[in-house]
Structure 1
Amino acid sequence: MKFDNIIIGGGLSGLTCGIKLAEQGKKCAIVSSGQSAIHFFSGSFDLLGKIDGQDVKNPLEAIKILPDTHPYQRVGIENISRLVVEAPRLLDRAGLNFFGKADENHFVLTPMGIMKPTWLTIDDFTRFEQNDAFPWKKAVILNFSGFLDFHTLFVQDGLKKYNVDTQIKNFAMKEFEAIRRNPSEMRSTNIAKVFDSGDAFDEFAQKVNQLSEGFEVVLLPAVFGLFTKSVALNLKAKVNKPVVLLPAIPPSVPGIRSQILLRKRFEELGGTYFLGDIVEQGTFKNNRLVAVQTNNHGDIKLEAEQFVLASGSFYSKGIVATREKLYEPILGLDIDGDTDSEKWLDEKFFNDQPYMHYGVKTDSGFHALKNGKPIENLFAAGSVLGGANALKEGSGAGISLLTSLHVAEQILK
């Protein structure tokens, strides 16, 4: 099978790149092994949240002081300034409505009850302009009886810092009895499916109104709208008080919805999405990658003019570390990381861990290197790149979105 572009990895980075290319008429395929980091989506996409442990107010300005090896610096400040405008527009065309500004972080309330700086927040969630106060002084935290993935006590403890008087209330509904009998079934996605069917929605909204009497605001786990955002919007319309949704333990309902909508957009543009398939090896010729072989396609090779590696970092096994070595498992690409395993970790757990900066080595044009040489038609994008500790910085989604758009532009030139 022949394509213009083949992307290895079907998460945020791979889908963003695929949509950008497909919008320009390219025949694209994405090979996705399955669950991606979008399923851990907290409701927001960070651009740059912290530097040296301090909150960043203006990410576009703060990016300028990052080291030259950082993916943002390699994309280029001028390109970043343009791509931060394009990214939310691409998401909007996929049916995902995000709000935020690249030159001014806003804040979102986390499941730990603390305010976190971020760039773009999906419209399910509430955005706050400051991190030293909570707009309401009397809040009720509601949870479904038997739902263990929403830690109400953490939220309550966090809100104490803002002098918020909170009360926790658990409630039961007959529509959830079947899944509540088995704790493994009482998960956010299964709760969301009940609401998507419409059977419990009106009764639930009524119950929320009853339980929130005497309070200024209602806090709920984000378990609404697995397949459509209208469920969360309708809930806010039917509840008499402001509703603040908080992420629960993954899988994330808004995250899965985002994955579904991005994939739908890609396929509507003519893209081919190979779900549950794994690239096992590539065929190289004259310093070019000419084809890849996958587990599901056996001897049938997938050929393309250009390839993009968006396989993720350690979490998704885009990079693998053993006791002996650090390596990229699909194509045997060079890794930008220390060969001495004793230097991978800092003994102080909460310090900036060296291994978090490791990734596939590329040239200035994001061509992946193999045996020290850049592969002419193979690009790397997203968290498979090195040079940043996305967890410490709060930059993971931004790196995925912006490097993918940048790589797509290099391919389209």
Structure 2
Amino acid sequence: MRIVIIGAGAIGAACALELAEAGAEVIVLDRVGVAGETSSRCEGNILVSDKAPGPEALLAIEANRAWRALAERLDADRVAGQPATEFEAKGGIVVAFAGGAEALETFAAAQRGIGITSEVLDAAALRAAEPHLADDIACGVHYPDDAQVQPSLATQAMLARARYLGADYRVTEVIGGIVDGSRVRGVQTTDSRIEADAVVNCAGPWAGEAAALFGAALDIRPRRGTILVTAPMPQRVFHKVYDADYVGAVGSGDASLQTSTVVESTPGGTVLIGSSRERVGFSEAGTLVPLAEIAAKATRLFPFLRDTMLLRTYFGFRPYAPDHVPAIGPDAQIAGLFHAAGHEGAGIGLAPTTAALISHAILGTAAPLDPAPFLPARASLQGVAA
């Protein structure tokens, strides 16, 4: 079976690897390059701590397990041109200032009800885990299963392994869908016509535009996020640490700017500081305000950051679904067209299980969990709203 994948970000690379391992003929197309957009402009989160009970939380739990096995397998037997994933099972700590402790503990208790492991830390345990935190933190909850990869390298690793298994990869832009009646027959690129039995739309924030090339509707929108990177330093942040406001920002549908604090060290000694969310289309203007807000909140959480030099800042666009659940599976109307998009900032973490669901939908392989909640046919994704 010949399958074309549109997009060589983390979701596209994971789908390519899963489908190639299942024996399909895979062609990956991207107009920029591997991890050229969203997947190189994020933090590489593999989180369960930020997921409220519901379908996405169950997807995250399964994906967290899948990433551990996948990273170990990729890193243990690297092929030519395949980088290490830099997988770190560092765990996460979510903190709250005065007034937020009760809500955080209640949220963690609800998560434990669906199998997410967490532990409320007393003051001594919190200080032992993160000695450089601000003194006025009122509460901390430890999530041992939170992890991280270097997102660009992990994406490259997955696609390199897929290519080793026979997948084809081309830098070209898809400019049209080839549809016979209501069935996909392939894609038209700037270079050529490519026939296919199935097409998987992994175009991230551009997934709605990609769907439209086939006459399909998929309401996926860009949501901009900004990140700061410090100069390398001796390690002073030992987990992925973020304030409880981050959970609310992740689940919000508000288009206006929202910022919260996420701080973590990298193997190279830099510290990544996020995060912001705002729906401004694909605008690249006006990033100073979110960066200033992030910096102010981060220095409240970790006071030592006030005297730290910034190395750079960057921003990216994340694929936002209005109901906060990714679209994974067959298109509502066009046979042979499949979607894997709408993960927003969780695409890296959810990639391997998303790929398993796509393989299930196309090839009939075993599904890692119930695919029904993620189907693109749901009403919330079928009419693009303002």
TM-score using structure 1 length: 0.46
> Which one has the largest radius of gyration?
1
TM-score using structure 2 length: 0.49
